[in-house]
Copies of this chain bind each other. A is one copy, B any other.
Amino acid sequence: MLIDVTDAGDPRLVDYVGLRDAQLRRPEVSRFIAEGVKIIERAFAAGCTPRSLLLQPRWLPGLRELIDAWPDVPVYLASEALIEHVSGFHVHRGALGSFDRPQETGWDELLGGRRLIVCEDTVDHANLGAIIRVAAGLGWDGVLVSPGSADPLYRRAVKASMGSSLALPWRRMASDSDLQRLRDAGFTLVASTLAPGAVDLAGLEPPAKAALLLGTEGQGLSDAWSAAADRHVTIPMAAGVDSLNVATAAAILAYALRP
């Protein structure tokens, strides 16, 4: 259903208003925003239910099949300037989609896997998205995020994940004590740390079921999470370099411990 829009105050665009604000960083919001044609396509491919699209008309031909398959979904057509005005940021190549927020994956499914990444307070959306993209790309079974972590379905996290946060199983932990669920299900908790005493990653025999615990950039894992881990592993650093970016470290660890 194509609808031309020329008024930035059009109330039908409510899903797209003020996307730079923190409102959609709250996971309780019932929708998420896909930014760019590729991410919109991946949201459809992941089975997400569209609420509406907001596009420059130039994107219509490429999205024609999807739009035809969802004839009741409003497709608002607007200028790049209007899209930027409504959303409050420069929308790269002018295509946004609003979708119903999918359910988080249940514990049973996650615990049935053999490789999980567990993020403690990953607050940066780009890092969180990159970690999820790595997990999906390297065949890991899912991601858990601590209560203090960013939202994997926030616009920028979805984009950084290249849509993987829509397809890879993930769940937010209710509390730190959910780490015990992992151990009870047979997972070895492997802490990534630069602390002394950790084993060199190259010397770690990958466990049958591994949950890789990643800390915050800068601080690393909390004492509580580090104490909860079964193994402590480190990526040896060259002299004079103190750390890697958390997503970069995740990539190396997820590769070395790949399923």
Chain A residues near B (Cβ < 8 Å): 130, 133-134, 136-139, 162, 164, 167, 235, 237-238, 240-241, 243-245, 247-249, 251-252, 255-256
- Kindly provide the distance from the CB of A137 to the nearest chain B CB, expressed in whole angstroms: 4
Is B134 within 8 A of A248, CB to CB?
A: yes
Question: Can you list 23 A-B contacts (CB < 8 A)?
Answer: A130-B245, A130-B248, A133-B244, A133-B248, A134-B244, A136-B238, A137-B235, A137-B237, A137-B238, A137-B241, A137-B244, A138-B237, A139-B237, A162-B243, A235-B255, A244-B251, A245-B247, A247-B248, A248-B248, A248-B251, A251-B251, A252-B252, A255-B255
Chain A interface mostly helix, strand, loop or mixed?
A: helix
Tell me the nearest residue of chain B to A252, going by C-beta: B255
A245 proximity list for chain B (CB < 8 A):
130, 133, 247
Least Cβ–Cβ distance between A15 and chain B, in angstroms: 27
Measured CB to CB, the closest approach of chain B to A30, in angstroms, equals 26
Given contacts A137-B248, A167-B240, A235-B255, 6 further A-B contacts (CB under 8 A): A133-B241, A139-B237, A244-B251, A251-B251, A252-B252, A252-B255
Chain B contacts of A240 at CB under 8 A? Answer: 167
